[in-house]
């Protein structure tokens, strides 16, 4: 990446910069390869942040099917994390995991479960997981909420085999004027479901899979407590990478924890032959990048204070404008044979593109994904009828209380006095992008187009060819669309 004019002597945020177009021979945005350059080589350079209000099993499997990867948080007990890892690994790589209920469940209970998925149906199955029918809001409309789903479900379903192509599914649904296709194995047992839009996405997004062909998932490990025990358990359960996570990553305790994690990882790799990457952060300087890479990390997480839920900069004055942090740390990592993730500060597809242009191997997204069906929060409705989910920062009093639940009441109360994050924020569902897949469509279309403007066919070329300029606040405002007439 180079600057259009002289690089300024002050640091820059994503809003401070723009990308100038180059002469391009890339004929279509679909000709762009978006594989990450961070060593994981996921088909999509998107990582779901390890935030309790966002990243869980549903989010992990959905994002992995579309080529990205999610990281489960560090404050979830090991048995629950291991169970989530196994369920993601057991999930089909093409067909969505549906919400399943037995015929005796009430309509009211079934409709409450609908908000956990974007596909809008509940599948009724028997004890052997053979599909009996499905229920959507259409079948439930006007029905007593205490009626059983077996009484109101429709058994008129489009069923396909496990090897049905995306084109087959799309055509079958169009021919039968139905919303979802149900995939079953030769014995009639449920595999998953696929919508028409899901069929299109399956043809566009290769899944992120491990060497065994199972969906990928990452897990976070704190730098305190039993680092070796947690890391060992997560790797044995099938985690594809370990994220050593703390707000201030450039500290001695992180260096020590990285040494422990690296030892566990090396022993695991020697025994199993599996390659496991270690991510560490967060930092915002060249020195921090080099120190953590030298301590054993493969990928460095860059970002202090740019996240929507983070109050660190306002409370402490510590942090750095994210574009400059990514640019400097990516350059340092490349010199040392490592990579970085740009963590935080993205609010538009342009920001993701600019982070990748600056040299990020992948971009980590948190709060932007909080207001989706797949995030872990409970769906709520405000007085105006708008759906939202609550999100909170991982250094907030709320998160600290959860993370220190095993300590004494006094120690927990004392720790909660010192917070650097918002404990409760309403993240509204965007009616245009209510699911994380909708947001991935929105983001990747922008990034693909940015690559074509730069004349790049992949993200390595994108970083090499991108030309970035500095703009005034009014220049940024000029680029914002106008939703209604200004007259």
Residues marked active site are found at 310
The answer to whether the beta carbons of residues 144 and 107 sit under 8 Å apart is yes
Burial category of 247 from C-beta neighbours within 10 Å (exposed 0-12, middle 13-18, buried 19 and up)? middle
Sheet holding 380-381: strands in order across? Answer: 380-381, 387-391, 425-428
The answer to whether the beta carbons of residues 427 and 371 sit under 8 Å apart is yes
CA-nearest of 166, 174, 220 to 198 is 166
Measure the CA dihedral 218/224/229/230, to 10°: -20
Distances in Å between the Cα of 337 and the Cα atoms of 8, 256, 332, 343 are: 27, 21, 9, 20
For residues 157 and 155, give the distance between their C-alpha atoms in angstroms, rounded to a whole number. 6
CA-nearest of 346, 350, 349 to 365 is 346
Q: Which residues of 216-240 are buried (b: 16+ CB within 10 A; e: fewer)?
A: bbbbbbbbeeebeebbbbbbebbbb
Q: Which residues of 9-28 are buried (b: 16+ CB within 10 A; e: fewer)?
A: eeebbbbbbbbeeeeeebee
Measure the CA dihedral 359/362/367/370, to 10°: 160
For residues 232 and 228, give the distance between their C-alpha atoms in angstroms, rounded to a whole number. 6
For residues 407 and 424, give the distance between their C-alpha atoms in angstroms, rounded to a whole number. 23
Query: Using the 8-state DSSP alphabet, how is residue 480 labeled?
Result: S
Measure the CA dihedral 47/423/321/71, to 10°: -10
How many residues are listed for the chain in this entry? 487
Q: Dig out the tokens for 333 from the structure.
A: 């990592």
For residues 423 and 51, give the distance between their C-alpha atoms in angstroms, rounded to a whole number. 12
For residues 49 and 369, give the distance between their C-alpha atoms in angstroms, rounded to a whole number. 9
CA-nearest of 296, 310, 305 to 324 is 305
Query: Using the 8-state DSSP alphabet, how is residue 367 labeled?
Result: G
Q: Dig out the tokens for 271 from the structure.
A: 């025994």
């Amino acid at each position: 990446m180079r600057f259009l004019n002289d690089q300024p002597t002050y640091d820059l945020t994503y809003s401070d910069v723009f990308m100038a177009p180059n002469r391009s021979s890339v004929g279509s945005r679909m000709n762009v390869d978006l594989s990450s350059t961070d060593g994981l080589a996921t088909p999509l350079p998107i990582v779901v942040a390890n935030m309790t209000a966002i990243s869980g099993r549903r989010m992990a499997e959905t994002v992995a099917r579309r080529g990205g990867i999610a990281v489960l948080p560090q404050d979830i007990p090991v048995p629950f994390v291991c169970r989530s890892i196994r369920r993601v690994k057991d999930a089909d790589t093409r067909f969505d995991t549906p919400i399943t209920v037995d015929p005796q469940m009430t309509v009211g209970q079934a409709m409450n479960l609908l908000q956990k998925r974007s596909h809008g149906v509940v599948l009724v199955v028997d004890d052997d997981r053979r599909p009996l029918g499905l229920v959507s809001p259409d079948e439930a409309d006007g029905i007593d909420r205490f009626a059983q789903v077996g009484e109101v479900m429709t058994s008129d379903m489009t069923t396909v085999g496990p090897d049905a192509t995306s084109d087959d599914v799309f055509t079958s649904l169009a021919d039968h004027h139905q919303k979802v296709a149900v995939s079953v194995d030769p014995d009639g047992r449920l595999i998953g479901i696929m919508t028409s839009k899901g069929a299109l996405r399956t043809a566009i997004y290769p899944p992120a899979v491990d060497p065994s062909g199972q969906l990928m998932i990452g897990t976070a490990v704190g730098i305190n407590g039993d680092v070796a025990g947690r890391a060992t358990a997560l790797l044995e359960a099938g985690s594809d990478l370990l994220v050593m996570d703390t707000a201030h990553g450039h500290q001695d305790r992180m260096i020590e924890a990285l040494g422990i994690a690296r030892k566990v990882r090396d022993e695991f790799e020697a025994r199993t032959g599996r390659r496991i990457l270690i991510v560490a952060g967060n930092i915002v300087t060249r020195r921090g990048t080099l120190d953590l890479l030298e301590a054993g990390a493969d990928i460095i997480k860059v970002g202090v204070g740019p996240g929507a839920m983070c109050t660190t900069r306002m409370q402490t004055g510590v942090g750095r404008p994210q574009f400059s942090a990514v640019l400097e740390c990516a350059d340092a990592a490349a010199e040392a044979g490592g990579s970085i993730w740009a963590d935080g500060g993205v609010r538009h597809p342009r920001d993701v593109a600019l982070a990748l242009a600056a040299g990020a191997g992948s971009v980590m997204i948190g709060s932007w994904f909080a207001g989706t069906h797949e995030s872990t929060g409970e769906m709520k409705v405000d007085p105006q009828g708008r759906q939202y989910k609550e999100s909170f920062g991982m250094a907030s009093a709320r998160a600290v209380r959860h993370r220190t639940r095993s300590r004494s009441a006094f120690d927990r109360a004392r720790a909660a006095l010192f917070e650097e994050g918002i404990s409760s924020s309403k993240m509204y569902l965007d009616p245009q992008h209510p699911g994380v897949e909708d947001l991935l469509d929105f983001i990747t279309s922008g990034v693909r187009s940015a690559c074509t403007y730069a004349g790049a066919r992949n993200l390595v070329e994108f970083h090499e060819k991108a030309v970035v300029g500095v703009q005034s606040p009014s220049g940024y405002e000029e680029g914002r669309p106008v939703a209604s007439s200004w007259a």
